[in-house]
């Protein structure tokens, strides 16, 4: 429900400015990726596969190199558009997830 409200807010803003900045496209694309992963999670759970939902936003920590940093061109593995993953911090968050949700859901 929160995602739907967020998307509605984005769409209403776009109607007012009558353009779609690249940063907004990244937000919308991000929601699509999250919803796709949630759909796969629900399907696997329905089929009885031991699985758990992990929202990468809860564990992936990045540092932006510049104010308008993004994820780079779609499909580009060499360009992160000024976003640097913080691997140590992300690994600690991931370990917390495994020891919490992962254990509860039985995927650990």
Distance CA 79, CA 82 (A): 8
* CB contact burial 83-96 (16+ within 10 A = b; e otherwise): eeeeeeeeeebbee
pLDDT at 77: 40
The one-character DSSP state at 70 is -
In this prediction the pTM is: 0.65
44-91 per-position pLDDT tens digit: 999 999 999 999 889 999 888 765 555 444 444 445 567 889 999 999
Residue 52: exposed, middle, or buried by beta-carbon count in 10 A (0-12, 13-18, 19+)? middle
pLDDT at 74: 46
Please determine, for residue 2, whether its predicted confidence score (pLDDT) is greater than 90: no
Q: Determine what percent of the chain is predicted with pLDDT higher than 90.
A: 40
pLDDT at 42: 95
């Amino acid at each position: 429900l929160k995602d739907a409200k967020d998307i509605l807010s984005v769409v209403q803003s776009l109607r007012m400015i009558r353009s779609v900045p690249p940063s907004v496209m990244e937000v919308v694309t991000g929601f699509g990726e999250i919803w796709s992963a949630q759909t796969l999670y629900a399907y696997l759970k329905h089929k009885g596969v031991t699985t758990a939902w992990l929202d990468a936003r809860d564990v992936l920590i990045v540092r932006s190199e510049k104010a308008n940093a993004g994820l780079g061109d779609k499909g580009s593995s060499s360009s992160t558009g000024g976003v640097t993953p913080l691997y140590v911090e992300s690994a600690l968050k991931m370990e917390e997830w495994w020891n919490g949700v992962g254990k509860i859901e039985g995927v650990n």
